[in-house]
Amino acid sequence: MAFGMTAASQDFSLPPGCAPKIRALYDYWRSIHPEAGLPGRQHFDPIDVPELLPNIWMVDVNREPMRFRFRLVGTAIVKFTERDATGQWLDAVYPDYWNSDAAAYHRACALDGTPAYRKSRAAPPGGGSEGDVESLTLPLAGNGSDVDILLNMTLYPEDPVMEMER
DSSP assignment of 4-57, as one string? G--HHHHH----TTS-HHHHHHHHHHHHT--SSS---GGG--GGG-GGGGGGEE
Query: pTM of this prediction?
Result: 0.86
pLDDT in tens, 136-164: 999 999 999 999 999 999 998 765 544 44
pLDDT in tens, 71-99: 999 999 999 888 999 999 999 999 899 99
- From residue 90, alpha-carbon distances to 9, 84, 85, 102 in Å are 24, 12, 8, 10
pLDDT in tens, 120-132: 877 666 666 778 8
User: Domains of the chain (ranges plus CATH)?
Assistant: 2-41+51-165 (3.30.450.20)
